[in-house]
């Protein structure tokens, strides 16, 4: 029973639409009606600016971190934080509070890894910004950071981590399939602040 409750809470945490809340409360704007229409941090940066983008990105990361910590909070040592965190990622991507249309799973996946493997998270963040500096593509940076995460996980010997990071990276790449096409067509927007 407690396991089911933890999974539900994790999903609901992930479902909190940070971009929608920040846009409507802080700016009177529904970001789903602007830019890519996505609720994630990237569209918030493009639509509302750096301050709003940072708030949304950090909030989305913390959703994953908090969800992964639920087994610890509830004193349940049998539940793997990685599995619980996946429910937050699903909630972020398909949020019940925003008609099941959410973000692309990057920040919340990162938040999950921040709790489980903080060094891995920080090195993935470094890879993200390195690729972003070189390419100016947020989407490409997100995907390649995930690929790096898979490589990193192989050296940990943690089978659960290898499986979960592989699944999350595959999901992130799937969610970015339109971006991949735009990168190939050279129509994908580039960041302008780097």
Going from N- to C-terminal start, the domains of the chain cover 2-185
Contact 135, 88 (CB under 8 A): no
Mean pLDDT in residue range 80-102: 95
What spatial distance separates the first Cα and last Cα of the chain, rounded to whole Å? Answer: 49
> For residue range 142-155, what is the model confidence (pLDDT) as tens digits?
999 999 999 999 99
Which pLDDT score, from 0 to 100, does residue 63 have?
97
- 135-140 LR contacts (CB < 8 Å, sep 24+): 135/190, 136/190, 136/191, 136/194, 137/179, 137/183, 137/188, 137/190, 137/191, 138/42, 138/191, 139/42, 139/176, 139/179, 139/180, 139/183, 139/188, 140/179, 140/183, 140/188
pLDDT, mean of residues 162-185: 95
Contacts of residue 1, defined as CB under 8 A and 6 or more positions apart, other chains included, come to none
The answer to whether residue 66 scores a pLDDT higher than 90 is: yes
Q: What is the pTM of this model?
A: 0.92
More confident residue, 61 or 39: 61
Residue 143 DSSP symbol? H
Q: To 5 degrees, how large is the angle CA 74–CA 77–CA 80?
A: 100
Average pLDDT, the chain: 93
Residue 46 has pLDDT above 90, yes or no: no
Per the CB < 8 A criterion, the answer to whether 41 and 53 are in contact is yes
DSSP string, 69-128: THHHHTT-SSS-HHHHHHHHHHHHHS-GGGTT----SHHHHHHHHHHH-HHHHHHHHHHH
Q: Average pLDDT of 29-44?
A: 86
pLDDT at 77: 87
C-beta neighbour count of 173 within 10 angstroms: 18
pLDDT of residue 36: 81
Question: Which pLDDT band holds residue 39 (cuts at 50, 70, 90)?
Answer: confident
């Amino acid at each position: 029973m407690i396991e089911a409750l933890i999974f539900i809470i994790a999903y609901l945490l992930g479902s909190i639409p940070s971009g929608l809340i920040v846009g409507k409360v802080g700016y009177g704007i529904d970001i789903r009606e602007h830019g890519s229409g996505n609720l994630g941090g990237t569209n918030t940066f493009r639509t509302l600016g750096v301050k709003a983008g940072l708030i949304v990105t950090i909030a989305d990361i913390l959703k994953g971190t908090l969800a992964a910590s639920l087994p610890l909070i509830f004193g349940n040592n049998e539940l793997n934080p990685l599995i619980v965190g996946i429910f937050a990622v699903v909630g972020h991507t398909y949020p019940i509070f925003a008609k099941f249309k959410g973000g692309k799973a990057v920040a919340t996946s990162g938040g999950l890894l921040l709790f489980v493997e903080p060094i891995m998270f920080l090195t993935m963040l470094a890879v993200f910004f390195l690729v972003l500096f070189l390419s100016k593509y947020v989407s490409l940076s997100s995907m390649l950071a995930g690929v790096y995460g898979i490589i990193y996980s192989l050296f940990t010997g943690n089978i659960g981590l290898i499986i979960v990071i592989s699944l999350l990276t595959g999901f992130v790449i799937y969610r970015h399939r339109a971006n991949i096409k735009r990168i190939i067509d050279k129509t994908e927007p580039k960041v302008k602040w780097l």
